[in-house]
């Protein structure tokens, strides 16, 4: 089990919520697919790191800022004798290696992830020095997608290709035990973690143009009421408790409109429900009421 678990990025949650309620533009749709693929790749790496020896500490999705410089680490494994930095990539298809870029057959290019990895390791080394911690750092780019293929005549030491990843972690050996210094480092990095350092600009959202319905927690399709206590999704065929579904949709409203007041009439409209009493009960049970009568809202 990871010492710091991975959570879905806030911006990914925002675009997923928007995709249910409006048709995204081509650029926004591509951005959503890019974020979703990246998160899927990171979760694929977690399958391997979650099974590591308990004598190491696994910290997922670290977003740090030190000396006004950002440090973003997909996975950091703190061992008794060294630190391992993993950069997860979910690339698919053929890629031609180059020292600075990777090139696809279509001609599209992207930064060689080794460049990003080396930059991250250098910044982490500076941070360790300021924390007065002396530990060697090793780094790897883990290509998670089994359909990734690297076209290169040479061996790249910091690359873990899809077929190499299981063997890499199967051969993982830990020397010694986690000591006070490693524990102090892990706790310090968790305290420093702050996703707001990487806050991206919110997309423009027009409330009037968004669909007002209840949406499935599993597949994101519109659901219909199935009796009093449950809702049914005609797409994935799953049933969920109505209360849980309402609460999830309210949380999406708060995510998309963080400065807007959460009121019973507004949430009934947002969820596409005529029964305001049910919305009222969900709000009373799960949020704190502020104000009275027509000025009441929930936080």
CB 95 within 8 A of CB 104: yes
pLDDT digits (tens, 9 = 90+) for 27-53: 999 999 999 999 999 999 999 999 898
CB 52 within 8 A of CB 8: no
Q: Which strand ranges, in their side-by-side order, compose the sheet holding 224-226? A: 224-226, 230-232, 239-241
Average pLDDT over residues 16-29: 94
- The CA distance from 24 to 97, in Å, is 33
Look at residue 227 in the predicted model and tell me its pLDDT.
Answer: 82
pLDDT digits (tens, 9 = 90+) for 243-298: 999 999 999 999 999 999 999 999 999 999 998 999 999 999 999 999 987 789 99
CB 14 within 8 A of CB 201: no
- The CA distance from 181 to 284, in Å, is 46
Predicted structure pTM score = 0.90
Among candidate residues 167, 198, 229, the one where a domain is terminated: 198
- The CA distance from 6 to 2, in Å, is 8
Quick one: 50 and 146 in the same domain? yes
Quick one: 171 and 120 in the same domain? yes
Average pLDDT over residues 139-155: 93
Quick one: 186 and 265 in the same domain? no
| 67 domain-assigned | yes
**H or E segment at 298?**
strand 297-298
Of 61, 178, 198, 67, nearest to 128 by C-alpha is 67
- The CA distance from 158 to 271, in Å, is 49
Look at residue 258 in the predicted model and tell me its pLDDT.
Answer: 92
Residue 248's domain comprises 211-298
| 241 domain-assigned | yes
| 205 domain-assigned | no
pLDDT digits (tens, 9 = 90+) for 149-161: 999 868 899 999 9
Look at residue 199 in the predicted model and tell me its pLDDT.
Answer: 61
Quick one: 162 and 29 in the same domain? yes
CB 22 within 8 A of CB 211: yes
Among candidate residues 150, 173, 198, the one where a domain is terminated: 198
Grade residue 204 by pLDDT with cuts at 50, 70 and 90: confident
Quick one: 43 and 151 in the same domain? yes
**For residue 67, what is the domain's CATH number?**
3.40.1350
Quick one: 117 and 218 in the same domain? no
Neighbouring CB atoms inside 10 A of 231's CB total 23
Structural domains in the chain (count)? 2
Q: Are strands 148-151 and 159-160 parallel, antiparallel or unpaired?
A: unpaired
CB 143 within 8 A of CB 89: yes
| 260 domain-assigned | yes
- Between 204 and 211, whose confidence is greater? 211
Take residue 139 and report the two structure tokens written for it. 């780094």
| 3 domain-assigned | no
Grade residue 1 by pLDDT with cuts at 50, 70 and 90: confident
**H or E segment at 188?**
helix 180-192
Quick one: 132 and 155 in the same domain? yes
Quick one: 173 and 245 in the same domain? no
- The CA distance from 160 to 144, in Å, is 8
| 255 domain-assigned | yes
Quick one: 65 and 134 in the same domain? yes
Look at residue 152 in the predicted model and tell me its pLDDT.
Answer: 85
Look at residue 155 in the predicted model and tell me its pLDDT.
Answer: 84
Grade residue 198 by pLDDT with cuts at 50, 70 and 90: low
Q: Is 195 helix (H, G, I), strand (E, B) or coil?
A: helix
Quick one: 154 and 251 in the same domain? no
Among candidate residues 149, 165, 198, the one where a domain is terminated: 198
Whether the per-residue pLDDT at 201 is higher than 80: the answer is no
Quick one: 91 and 57 in the same domain? yes
- The CA distance from 202 to 216, in Å, is 24
Look at residue 197 in the predicted model and tell me its pLDDT.
Answer: 62
Average pLDDT over residues 186-210: 86
Quick one: 56 and 153 in the same domain? yes
| 2 domain-assigned | no
- The CA distance from 151 to 170, in Å, is 26
CB 2 within 8 A of CB 60: yes
| 4 domain-assigned | no
């Amino acid at each position: 089990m990871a010492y710091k678990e991975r959570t879905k990025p806030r911006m990914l949650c925002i675009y997923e919520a928007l995709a249910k309620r409006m048709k995204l533009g081509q650029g926004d749709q591509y951005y959503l697919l890019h974020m979703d693929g990246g998160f899927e790749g990171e979760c694929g790496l977690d399958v391997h790191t979650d099974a590591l020896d308990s004598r190491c500490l696994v910290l997922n999705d670290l977003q740090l800022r030190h000396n006004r410089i950002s440090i973003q680490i997909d996975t950091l494994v703190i061992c008794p004798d060294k630190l391992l930095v993993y950069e997860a990539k979910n690339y698919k298809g053929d890629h031609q290696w180059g020292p600075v870029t990777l090139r696809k057959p279509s001609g599209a290019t992207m930064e060689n992830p080794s460049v990003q990895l080396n930059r991250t390791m250098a910044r982490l080394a500076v941070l360790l020095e300021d924390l007065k911690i002396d530990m060697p750092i090793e780094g790897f780019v883990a290509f998670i997608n089994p359909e990734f293929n690297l076209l290169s005549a040479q061996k790249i030491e910091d690359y873990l290709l899809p077929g190499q990843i299981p063997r890499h972690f199967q051969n993982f050996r830990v020397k010694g035990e986690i000591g006070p210094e490693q524990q102090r480092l892990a706790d310090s990095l968790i305290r420093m973690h702050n996703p707001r350092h990487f806050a991206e600009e919110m997309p423009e959202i027009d409330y009037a143009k968004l669909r007002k319905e209840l949406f499935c927690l599993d597949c994101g399709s519109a659901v219909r009421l199935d009796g009093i206590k449950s809702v049914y999704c005609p797409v994935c065929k799953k049933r969920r408790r109505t209360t849980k579904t309402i609460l999830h949709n309210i949380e999406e409203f708060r995510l998309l409109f963080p400065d807007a007041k959460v009121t019973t009439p507004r949430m009934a409209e947002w969820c596409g429900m005529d029964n305001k009493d049910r919305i009222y009960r969900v709000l009373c049970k799960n949020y704190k009421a502020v104000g009275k009568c027509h000025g009441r809202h929930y936080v």
